[in-house]
Chain A
Amino acid sequence: MPRPRAQQVSKKQIIDSAGTMKRLFAYLFKYYGIQFAVVFVCIIISVLANVRGTLFMQRLIDDYVMPMVRSGSRDFTPLLLAILKVAGFYVVGIAASLLYNLIMVYVSQGAQRRFRDEMFDHMEKLPVSYFDRHKHGDIMSFYTNDIDTMRQMISQSIPQMINASFTVVSVLVSMVILSIPLTIVTLFMIGVTFAVTKYLGGMSAKYFGAQQAAIANLNGNIQEMMNGQKVVKVFCHEKESVEEFKRLNDALFESADNANKYANILMPANAQIGNISYVMIAVVGGALALSGWTGLTLGKLASFLTFNKSFNMPISQVSQQLNFIVMAMAGASRIFGLMDEKPEVDDGYVTLVNAKETDAGLVECSERTGLWAWKHYHKAEGTTTYTRLAGNVVFDDVDFSYVPDKQVLHHISIYANEGQKIAFVGATGAGKTTITNLINRFYDVSDGKIRFDGINVNKIKKSALRASLGIVLQDTHLFTGTVADNIRYGKPDATDEEVVAAARLANAEGFIHKLPQGYDTMITGDGANLSQGQRQLLAIARAAIADPPALILDEATSSIDTRTEKIIQDGMDRLMHGRTTFVIAHRLSTIRNSDCIMVMDGGRIIERGDHDDLIAQKGKYYQLYTGKVVNA
């Protein structure tokens, strides 16, 4: 089967792979040391059995057939015994190969699972910034391409390498024992094979590189054209796009033709060199056997010819596997790269506990009371205090930058009291979303402080902090599962009644009832079977069920048309009631009734106040709102 041929391997790649290989093997041996030992032994047994069988060909003719022919004896018993003995070897060999193949299935699949699990575990612990810095497609390819290549390497390349190198060695030894001159001839032909492989492989690699580039170009064009197909139709641009496609398609054909050509030639060329090698051995061997002065017998020649054949195969295997291993190691090093990535640190110690009100103030309790408290242990005094979870959020002169020297937020101070609605408006890149990223600590501030109910957010355990903050984003991100599962995402132990209540609150009940299986309808592919607005409603329900004291709505209703939005506005109002809410919206109707509106520009709050204040100020907000430019 045509396997993707690796580009020619450079020395540096081999050195890099060696390091990764060491680490990979250390890992594999840790878990599968015994299995690998058994596999190794089994492979050697199977190779030996094979060699033993080939050697038998020599004895068949020299020790059994020829004497019988010469003596005219008809006693086949010795031959039968010999054949049975060899059969015994073969059976052992086959059993060994069956065993090691079986073990390798368990090892390779088990190792793949282990890698996959560890990768996923680690990935879930990584900070959000990791996902912002890396293309999602790249992360995905760790789980698909890279891990698959690695599994193939473990299950195929490793046994084949062991097998091939051991075969080469044992065949070589056997050949030397049979006849040194013929061995020299064979080795010479192997040299020729190497030279030819190197030349053809080089040519093929060159064109495969060109082919990869051509494929990338063509696929890019296909992607663009398929996405823009409707525009093409509207502009009657069909002819032009066909012409462009033809140009790229022909270019791909050109390079693909050449790449495949050289790759195709490689196999027959090597096969015929093998045949010529065979002929040479036959002629030289025949001559030697006739002259008789090297002690080469007819039987030995026959064995040698078989060895000659079985010598070529493992050599081309090794060279093929080498490329593949380097490829697999590149993948493995990417996987290790992910695993070496530093996980999100959480050294917060303030936790969230159920509480009840008593005469002595707030007291921790185990049952669910609906009342939550921050459990704050003060190390210096050795005391524990409880603070009611209320939802006061304070930004105190916060600066922030994603990368050093490129400050995104400047001197942000916000005082959001329990139950208030704070809105952010401003142009793309003004820093609105960044502010919300700081509240739930997806990112940490560079300077200044953020306090939640008076406690510095750095001291709060991240899981507790995030559980107290509901979030609805513009990109909804639903998960595979039923509608109910998705709503329950905000509170895993929610009852069915709670799920229905949350859906009702978000006004999602109407459309859910219309779905084929209601709440049990499966959602797949991030809710591709739902409209954007419906997805948004589910995301709102999901936040509602968690019943958090504070909410972040980042363009949560932007995909819902104004009329539908009005319908869910009641639900939204009910959701926001009594909660501290941070709203980012570009639609005015969403923010007009906010307690305070922050107008942001270039990472700074340039105006603040409620709607009427800001209109009266006749500043940027007034300008955005009325569309009129104020001549100051």
Chain B
Amino acid sequence: MIARLLKEVKEFKKDVCLTPAFMLLEVAMEMIIPLLMASIIDDGVEAGDMGHIFKVGGLMVIAAGIGLYAGIEGGRYGARASTGFARNLRQSMFENIQSFSFANIDRFSQSSLITRLTTDVTNLQNSFQMILRIGARAPASVIVALCMSFYISPELAQIYLWAALVLAVVIGFITVRTKKVFEQVFKKYDELNASVQENVSGIRVVKAFVREEYETAKFHMASENLCRMFIRAERNLVGMMPIMQGMVYACILLISWFGAKLIVAETLTTGELMSLLAYCMNILFSLMMLSMIFVMITMSVASAERVTEVLNEKSTITNPKEPVMEVADGAVDFIKVDFAYGEGAAENVLSDINLHIASGEMIGIIGSTGSSKTSLVNLIPRLYDVKSGQVLVGGVNVKDYDIDTLRDEVAVVLQNNVLFSGTILDNLRWGDPNASDEDCARACRLACADEFIEGFPDGYDTYIEQGGTNVSGGQRQRLCIARALLKKPKVLILDDSTSAVDTTTDANIRKAFREEIPGTTKIIIAQRVSSVQDADRIVVLDDGRINGIGTHQELLQNNAIYRDVYESQTGGSSGDFDEPE
């Protein structure tokens, strides 16, 4: 996992190496300063040598200057290394996601992919910077300070060694124990917030059922529980600071006592004692930093796992070795097709599908929710691969086509269709980047979208907000159809794409299809019988199997399900009203 992540450092290797190097230089300078201090006091002040004081003082200023330079450079490179690392991570993840098949996308949910690209990467960036800077600095600081202390006085330095050990054990113990408790607490915290969220979005239901008091009581209980858990968890941490403090104090006192003895015995100078006390702070402070990094790293391990998972995911659908680059016509064949989501899935979503659709035919597909209408059409542009059997387009197995070629010729208007932020023209040109304004207008006319677009003050330059929230559901659907038409596909699939369009317009769109693009195979999934009844043939799907194929009249006579649906929709003229709010 770590090796995979480190591969993303790429062009920032130099920064990654230089950051710790400069940090070490900074540490070195910081360590030299107390040594020079000792020299000032011992050889300068006590010997009454003002020249020495200036000389060593000068050296100290130089050391501080170098330290400053190293600190600045370390900070600069550290920033570059970590933000660059984050940039590369995001880029690689995003590029890999672009190669994902529908099956891959389903496996990760949208929201989890978003978290991985945002929060998780930020966590890693922070940890990475921490490790590069403090991770190099703190241990070096501890080691050098210890060495220096040993150099000055091996007897006294032992005290630090013991103090450091005790501290490391205590801090380690507390962090490990606390981490577990905190994980539980944060889970509870999330649950509490989820219940607030429920109340905020479901406030109408709460009020309609007069359940305010119930919700409040429920919340109070959860809130009190959480508070108790938090207190229990935090009580563990409370000892941390006083223990650190106590350690520092103990060291100071011990050094003072033994140091004083050594000075009297004339094996230690007062200057050296001062240096030792300075190192004391250094060691303990660095240990504290180390424990902090430790906590941060453990916290970001989960993020690292989630990011690596995305980076390592391989697309389930890849281009064949020698792809077919041209689609002959819009004929579609299903030969003994079985299909299931996921490899190990026991139940087939589609079973034993045999269907021949001639080029230019208009096919309607009808069936209740869960009858796998969408699954069926998604196999045609190879959004998913079949479990067994074959799907042919233009007489060639879809697995043999170049994927882009196939999908350019088979246009799907998805059920859950999305417009992107940008003008209407920008959105339309997703279908064909080189489409002229006239091409776009023509496609919109076919999709019966021209009327409302021209009604907008900015016409085709109207800016669509993210998610297309500033156009109504029916308008969005028509724009999506126009976008697909601009691809000039050989096969056009509409997956319940006119559900929010009123009956009249719906009929007009189909009329336009019939007259303007007769050569294109049209496959229309619909809930409304009226949307499919004038198709050349209608396929009735039930529970993943073809229940009947035929014209409207034929099915009315010999297909029970079709008749059922038809009758449930008002004697044939199932005029629905405008889209739901």
| Contacting pair A525 B210 (CB below 8 A) | no
Chain B 91-122 interface residues, beta-carbon cutoff 8 Å to A:
91, 94-95, 97-102, 105, 110-111, 113-114, 117-118
Q: Quick check: is B404 within 8 A (CB to CB) of the other chain?
A: yes
Q: Interface residues of B: mostly helix, strand, loop or mixed?
A: helix
Chain B residues whose CB sits within 8 angstroms of the CB of A56 once the complex forms: 256
| Contacting pair B83 A256 (CB below 8 A) | yes
Interface string of A276-315 (1 = CB under 8 A from B): 1011001100110110000000100110011001000000
In the assembled complex, the CB of B106 is this many whole angstroms from the nearest CB of chain A, namely 9
- If A101-B238, A223-B114, A236-B407 touch, whether A65 touches B79 (CB-CB below 8 Å) is no
- Determine the distance from Cα of A1 to Cα of B407 in the docked complex, in whole angstroms: 49
- Chain B: interface residue total (CB-CB under 8 A): 158
In the assembled complex, the CB of B562 is this many whole angstroms from the nearest CB of chain A, namely 10
Q: Quick check: is A360 within 8 A (CB to CB) of the other chain?
A: no
Q: Quick check: is B512 within 8 A (CB to CB) of the other chain?
A: no
Interface string of B15-50 (1 = CB under 8 A from A): 000000000001000100100010011001110101
- If A222-B118, A480-B194, A492-B214 touch, whether A268 touches B67 (CB-CB below 8 Å) is yes
Among listed B173-181, B436-444, B543-551, B566-574, interface-contacting one:
B566-574
Q: Which B-chain residue is minimally distant from A130 (CB atoms)?
A: B203
Q: Quick check: is A469 within 8 A (CB to CB) of the other chain?
A: yes
| Contacting pair A290 B45 (CB below 8 A) | yes
Q: Quick check: is B498 within 8 A (CB to CB) of the other chain?
A: no
Among listed B162-170, B412-420, B451-459, B513-521, interface-contacting one:
B412-420
Option from B61, B412, B466 in Cβ contact (under 8 Å) with A276: B61
Chain B residues whose CB sits within 8 angstroms of the CB of A235 once the complex forms: 407, 430-431, 483, 487
| Contacting pair A233 B195 (CB below 8 A) | no
- If A428-B472, A489-B209 touch, whether A102 touches B54 (CB-CB below 8 Å) is no
| Contacting pair A477 B202 (CB below 8 A) | yes
Chain B 238-264 interface residues, beta-carbon cutoff 8 Å to A:
238-239, 241-242, 245-246, 249, 252-253, 256-257, 260-261, 263-264
| Contacting pair B568 A563 (CB below 8 A) | yes
Interface string of A553-590 (1 = CB under 8 A from B): 00100101111111000000000000000000111110
Q: Quick check: is A231 within 8 A (CB to CB) of the other chain?
A: yes
- Determine the distance from Cα of A471 to Cα of B208 in the docked complex, in whole angstroms: 7
| Contacting pair A555 B581 (CB below 8 A) | yes
- Determine the distance from Cα of A428 to Cα of B273 in the docked complex, in whole angstroms: 83
Chain B residues whose CB sits within 8 angstroms of the CB of A533 once the complex forms: 369
Q: Which B-chain residue is minimally distant from A561 (CB atoms)?
A: B369
Q: Quick check: is A139 within 8 A (CB to CB) of the other chain?
A: yes
In the assembled complex, the CB of B451 is this many whole angstroms from the nearest CB of chain A, namely 14
Q: Quick check: is A260 within 8 A (CB to CB) of the other chain?
A: yes
Chain B residues whose CB sits within 8 angstroms of the CB of A525 once the complex forms: 194
Interface string of A222-251 (1 = CB under 8 A from B): 111111111111111110011001100110
Contacts A60-B256, A261-B76, A473-B204 supplied; 11 other A-B pairs, CB < 8 Å? A128-B203, A220-B421, A233-B105, A256-B83, A267-B75, A286-B45, A469-B208, A475-B201, A561-B369, A627-B575, A628-B504
Option from A2, A87, A289, A479 in Cβ contact (under 8 Å) with B253: A87
| Contacting pair A65 B33 (CB below 8 A) | no
- Determine the distance from Cα of A216 to Cα of B318 in the docked complex, in whole angstroms: 33
- Nearest 10 CB-CB pairs, A to B? A268-B71, A264-B75, A477-B202, A260-B79, A228-B418, A272-B68, A283-B57, A113-B227, A253-B87, A238-B98
| Contacting pair A117 B467 (CB below 8 A) | no
| Contacting pair B274 A305 (CB below 8 A) | yes
In the assembled complex, the CB of A203 is this many whole angstroms from the nearest CB of chain B, namely 12
Chain A 70-103 interface residues, beta-carbon cutoff 8 Å to B:
74, 76, 79-80, 83, 86-87, 90, 93-94, 97-98, 101-102
Among listed A118-126, A173-181, A450-458, A500-508, interface-contacting one:
A118-126
Q: Quick check: is B346 within 8 A (CB to CB) of the other chain?
A: no
Q: Quick check: is A426 within 8 A (CB to CB) of the other chain?
A: yes
Interface string of B537-571 (1 = CB under 8 A from A): 00000000000000000000000010011001110
Q: Which A-chain residue is minimally distant from B245 (CB atoms)?
A: A94
- Determine the distance from Cα of A263 to Cα of B206 in the docked complex, in whole angstroms: 47
- Determine the distance from Cα of A131 to Cα of B261 in the docked complex, in whole angstroms: 74
| Contacting pair B114 A626 (CB below 8 A) | no
- Determine the distance from Cα of A65 to Cα of B417 in the docked complex, in whole angstroms: 84
| Contacting pair A224 B466 (CB below 8 A) | yes
- Determine the distance from Cα of A263 to Cα of B78 in the docked complex, in whole angstroms: 11
| Contacting pair A586 B576 (CB below 8 A) | yes
Q: Quick check: is B129 within 8 A (CB to CB) of the other chain?
A: yes
Q: Which of B63, B105, B263, B420 has the most CB of A within 10 A?
A: B420
In the assembled complex, the CB of A239 is this many whole angstroms from the nearest CB of chain B, namely 8
Q: Quick check: is B155 within 8 A (CB to CB) of the other chain?
A: no
- Determine the distance from Cα of A525 to Cα of B467 in the docked complex, in whole angstroms: 22
Option from B194, B239, B579 in Cβ contact (under 8 Å) with A586: B579
Chain A residues whose CB sits within 8 angstroms of the CB of B253 once the complex forms: 83, 86-87, 90
- Determine the distance from Cα of A301 to Cα of B42 in the docked complex, in whole angstroms: 13
Chain A residues whose CB sits within 8 angstroms of the CB of B536 once the complex forms: none
Chain B residues whose CB sits within 8 angstroms of the CB of A305 once the complex forms: 37, 274
Q: Quick check: is A219 within 8 A (CB to CB) of the other chain?
A: yes
| Contacting pair B72 A269 (CB below 8 A) | yes
- Determine the distance from Cα of A57 to Cα of B46 in the docked complex, in whole angstroms: 18
In the assembled complex, the CB of A65 is this many whole angstroms from the nearest CB of chain B, namely 5
- If A290-B48, A298-B270, A555-B580 touch, whether A588 touches B570 (CB-CB below 8 Å) is yes
Q: Which A-chain residue is minimally distant from B411 (CB atoms)?
A: A234
- If A97-B241, A121-B216 touch, whether A53 touches B249 (CB-CB below 8 Å) is yes
| Contacting pair A101 B576 (CB below 8 A) | no
In the assembled complex, the CB of B125 is this many whole angstroms from the nearest CB of chain A, namely 8
| Contacting pair A65 B260 (CB below 8 A) | yes
- If A232-B98, A466-B207 touch, whether A116 touches B223 (CB-CB below 8 Å) is yes
- If A83-B256, A105-B231, A626-B573 touch, whether A136 touches B407 (CB-CB below 8 Å) is no
| Contacting pair A229 B110 (CB below 8 A) | yes
In the assembled complex, the CB of A281 is this many whole angstroms from the nearest CB of chain B, namely 10
Q: Which A-chain residue is minimally distant from B106 (CB atoms)?
A: A230
- Determine the distance from Cα of A227 to Cα of B230 in the docked complex, in whole angstroms: 36
- If A79-B260, A264-B78, A272-B68 touch, whether A563 touches B565 (CB-CB below 8 Å) is yes
- Determine the distance from Cα of A302 to Cα of B129 in the docked complex, in whole angstroms: 36
- Determine the distance from Cα of A537 to Cα of B141 in the docked complex, in whole angstroms: 66
Q: Which A-chain residue is minimally distant from B224 (CB atoms)?
A: A113
Q: Quick check: is A140 within 8 A (CB to CB) of the other chain?
A: yes
| Contacting pair B110 A227 (CB below 8 A) | yes
Chain A 183-202 interface residues, beta-carbon cutoff 8 Å to B:
none
| Contacting pair A124 B216 (CB below 8 A) | yes
- If A101-B238, A279-B64 touch, whether A426 touches B578 (CB-CB below 8 Å) is yes
| Contacting pair A101 B256 (CB below 8 A) | no
| Contacting pair A98 B239 (CB below 8 A) | yes
Q: Quick check: is A433 within 8 A (CB to CB) of the other chain?
A: yes
Chain B residues whose CB sits within 8 angstroms of the CB of A331 once the complex forms: none
